[in-house]
Amino acid sequence: MMKYQPKDSFQSPRFCGVRTFMRLPFVEQVDEHMDFVIMGIPFDSGQSFRTGARFGPGAIRDFSILLRPYNPEQAINIFDYISGIDYGDIPVVPGYISETYKKIEDELTPVIEKGIVPISLGGDHSITLGELRAIVKKHGPVALLQFDAHSDTWDSYFEQKYNHGTVFRRAIEEGLIDVSRSLQIGMRGGLYGPEDLQDARDLGLAVYTTNDYKRNGVEKMLEIIHERVADGPVFLSFDIDFLDPVYAPGTGTPEVSGASIDDALAFVRGLTDIEFVGFDLVEVLPSYDHGQVTAAAAANIVYEFITLIALAKKGKRDKMGMIQDLEKQLNN
């Protein structure tokens, strides 16, 4: 039995207790028994339209109490293989993005150094730069797999270099992203000009619009993803506005004609056999979320992130068991 796992909802009603993701233990220190940590980064001073994503981590946690440990779509009981906690929230500095980046980096660094996979709940998309700065210390430049309605590669927005619309240009400039292995999927909506997407391609990213992925289909796109990221560390950043506003009305910059929740879950479930070293889910804005629709989608996507970690651990155990069985046969 794993040391850290959710409370048993047959023994304790879901509506009881302090809200943590999936009712995981709230622990503010990391140790060798942990495979992943959930942490909130409630910063939204980088948003350009609607604000309020600072309340996103709480909204996601609030819905996540309905999640259960057995994932039938992936045929795995998650906590048979991995252990995880809810680390709480990083104490951000509202209105001060550079200071917040430092806090994100400081909080994530000891987690990553211990080989634990961080799963961050945003907050707006600007937070990802702080996460990548921490991750690169251990893993070097990583592949970026980004699901998003927007490329977030502008050079500046409102003459500011750091916000949720510039985050990946800054990350590339800082050498945090291996662009030769990176993809952006889901771009759509009006632009200021064709250069908005061309700039991302010129930076070396493979860019697929929503129409591209819908023409290809999810299965073909999964083949493209696996071929592109290949071997090596990958960071997955999921902006909830990848989804159509029907499935995610509670977000800062909604764009029509997006992905369904079915496609989003199919994408994440298909991302097996990839070396993920970090995840985030950003831009949940509960004040525009009616009936917890967006929070439900976000919580379930994060659940699939955790499942990917469990599947990877199970695969390693199964491989080790096969090797041991083979050694026994040879010795006999």
125 annotated ligand-binding residue: yes
**Binding site annotation covers 150?**
yes
Is residue 39 one of the residues assigned to a domain? yes
Q: Mind listing the pLDDT tens digit of every residue in the chain (332 residues)? A: 468 888 777 777 777 778 899 999 999 999 989 999 999 999 999 888 889 999 999 999 999 999 999 999 999 999 999 999 999 999 999 999 999 999 999 999 999 999 999 999 999 999 999 999 999 999 999 999 999 999 989 777 777 888 888 999 999 999 999 999 999 999 999 888 888 889 999 999 999 999 999 999 999 999 999 999 999 999 999 999 999 999 999 999 999 999 999 999 999 999 999 999 999 999 999 999 999 999 999 999 999 999 999 999 998 887 767 676 666 777 76
- CA-based torsion, 324, 325, 329, 332: positive or negative: positive
CATH of residue 221's domain is: 3.40.800.10
Query: Is 12 among the domain residues?
Result: no
Q: What is the tally of structural domains in the chain? A: 1
Residue 16 lies in a domain: no
Helix (H, G, I), strand (E, B) or coil at 236: strand
> In this predicted model, what pLDDT tens digit does every residue of 210-266 receive, in sequence order?
999 999 999 999 999 999 999 999 999 999 999 999 999 999 999 999 999 999 999
Q: H or E element: which one contains 326?
A: helix 293-331
CA distance 129 to 125: 8
Is 239 marked within a binding site? yes
Provide the token pair at 179: 């662009």
Residue 120 within a domain: yes
**Looking up tokens 């996507």, which residue turns up?**
301
Structural domain contains residue 163 = yes
Domain assignment present for 7: no
70 neighbors 299 (Cβ within 8 angstroms): no
Asked, for residue 8, whether it belongs to a domain, the answer is no
Domain extent, residue 62, equals: 21-331
8 is in an annotated binding site: no
In a domain, 86, yes or no: yes
Biggest alpha carbon distance in the chain?
Answer: 72
